[in-house]
Amino acid sequence: MSTVTIEAAQTRIPERTTETTAVEDAPPGSFVVTLIIRRYIPETDDEPRWQDFDVRVLPTDRILDALHKIKWEQDGSLTFRRSCAHGICGSDAMRINGRNRLACKTLIKDLDPSKPIYVEALKGLPLEKDLVVDMEPFFEAYRQVQPFLIANSTPPGGRERTQSPVARERFDDTTKCILCAACTSSCPVFWTDGQYFGPAAIVNAHRFIFDDRDESAQVRLDILNDKEGVWRCRTTFNCSEACPRGIEITKAIKEVKQAILVGKP
Amino acid sequence: MSLKSTQLPTPTPSKSRTLRPTSLLNGRISLPKRPAGTVYRGREGMWSWVLHRITGVGIFFFLLVHILDTALVRVSPEAYNAVINTYKNPIMGLGELALVAAIGFHGLNGLRIILIDFWSVGTRNHRLMFWIVIALWIVLMLGFAPRHLMHVFGAQ
Ligand code: HEM
Ligand code: SF4
Ligand code: FES
């Protein structure tokens, strides 16, 4: 906390009145980064607009921390969703430097802090306010694939449905989904055709189609064997690259395609 | 020591919170540079698909014209010859180069997409396969372009 730091920070952002207090607490190794956020407040804005914010951050801070600092210290009207802040609730997917990411899993040091960081809402879902989109079309597609275990028969032995580790492994990858919508809203097909089920719905159908305890695989395959189903996939891999859980989404979609063509392996 | 939320300085309320309440409190307002949002930064997979669609639609329209002009030979060979002769100029020659480039990319990348869909580890190797497609396409074009351009621009 040398005077140099204070001066540097002040020349960088001279119009900031609260900066002096903030800088006195500035942790060593912190620096100022510019976030350019796409704002939209339906009551006052006709069009979304870009707004710059300078925030003092540590390299190990996450974009979510920067958004919190802006909301708490600079502009309380900044609106975004977050709940867990630890990559498990799926609330804070947004477009960071042009790619869908969870704000709570994106470290400043993994971006280029010498350049401004662009933050905007997910694409392809209706914009409600600032970084918040209407997730309803996304969940509607999710519900349609019947994402729950359907087993009407009496379990063998009458007590529980056991599953071998090998059978569990078959759909392990797609159990990891947190329904953040990063994948679906990264898909060029979904941007132009909102009727497309989208990667997340297919991932969650895959989760049950390949579960050997489930008895409704064929129902889901019929649902997805639709003009707006798996055949819309153009293998752009945007979904696989966006998924914060590292799910191999394009592979899951391909497996559903093949199960429709030749039946479940 | 970082700030506790209880110690935060309260932002000075702005006098004129009329039109845009958020922008007046703090921060510089940048004019909407790109109000439509940024272009999604997809990688090889996305751009190969963009190229695949552009080349696919391009080839489609070429084929449409090509079927029509070829069908003309049944109507009148003279008319056919007349039409084909109008193609023999440098602009059409460059068009042919573009056509071969488009078909070359579309065909090679089409094989890549088939491998993604049907080869068990296709999805894991799609990026490598994209660069193989580009390499093969460059080799193809290096073989074709010089000879073709020599024809078009009259050298022997
Ligand atoms: C050289 C032989 C060709 C091969 C191997 C090939 C392969 C393919 C494949 C695999 C696709 C599916 C793409 C996807 O799933 O995203 C496709 C799409 C397409 N092809 Fe071809 N194709 C060939 C020739 C042609 C020709 C001659 C035309 C024009 C008449 C054409 C026009 C298209 C179009 C318009 C699409 C749709 C692109 C899209 O949906 O994004 N292709 N091609
Ligand atoms: S598949 Fe991945 S990106 Fe898509 S909703 Fe689930 S966790 Fe998010
Ligand atoms: S806040 Fe829960 S996933 Fe980011």
Identify the residue with better confidence: B13 or B54: B54
Q: How many CB atoms lie within 10 A of CB B98?
A: 12
Which pair of tokens denotes residue A80?
């975004």
Average pLDDT on B139-143 reads 97
- B116/A254 touch (CB, cutoff 8 Å), yes or no: yes
Please list every residue in chain A whose beta carbon sits closer than 8 Å to the beta carbon of residue B126.
Answer: 235, 237, 250
CATH number for A201: 1.10.1060.10
Answer yes or no: do A167 and A257 share one domain: yes
Best residue among A179, A248, A256 to mutate for probing ligand 2's pocket (most ligand atoms within 8 Å of CB) is: A179
State which residues form the domain around A85: 2-133
Domain count, chain A: 2
Answer yes or no: do A140 and A78 share one domain: no
pLDDT averaged over chain B?
83
Q: Is the CB of A183 under 6 A from ligand 2?
A: yes
Answer yes or no: do A98 and A159 share one domain: no
Report the distance separating Cα A237 and Cα A250, nearest Å.
6
- A81: three-class secondary structure by DSSP: coil
Q: Tell me: the pLDDT tens digits for B98-119?
A: 999 999 999 999 999 999 999 9
Low-confidence ranges of chain A (pLDDT < 70): 1-25, 265
Report the distance separating Cα A107 and Cα A171, nearest Å.
30
Average pLDDT on B39-53 reads 96
Residue A5, pLDDT score: 45
Answer yes or no: do A124 and A184 share one domain: no
Q: Is the CB of B60 under 6 A from ligand 1?
A: yes
Q: Tell me: the pLDDT tens digits for B23-41?
A: 444 444 444 445 567 899 9
Answer yes or no: do A158 and A252 share one domain: yes
Residue B79 has pLDDT above 80, yes or no: yes
Residue A80, pLDDT score: 98
Answer yes or no: do A108 and A160 share one domain: no
Which pair of tokens denotes residue A259?
């199960």
Residue B13 has pLDDT above 80, yes or no: no
Answer yes or no: do A199 and A221 share one domain: yes
Answer yes or no: do A68 and A140 share one domain: no
Last residue of a domain, one of A133, A166, A188: A133
Last residue of a domain, one of A87, A115, A133: A133
**A39 touches B: beta carbon within 8 Å:** yes
Best residue among A68, A71, A102 to mutate for probing ligand 3's pocket (most ligand atoms within 8 Å of CB) is: A102
Q: Is the CB of B59 under 6 A from ligand 1?
A: yes
Residue B155, pLDDT score: 60
Answer yes or no: do A100 and A220 share one domain: no
β-strand A132-133 against A127-129: which pairing, if any?
antiparallel
Write out the H or E segment, with its range, that includes residue A141: helix A136-144
Helix axes A217-224, A249-262, angle to 10 degrees: 100
Closest to B14 measured CA to CA, from B6, B22, B25, B3: B25
Answer yes or no: do A140 and A123 share one domain: no
Q: Is the CB of A102 under 6 A from ligand 3?
A: yes
- A95/B39 touch (CB, cutoff 8 Å), yes or no: no
**B37 touches A: beta carbon within 8 Å:** yes
A149-163, A166-180, B5-19, B140-154: the lowest-pLDDT one: B5-19
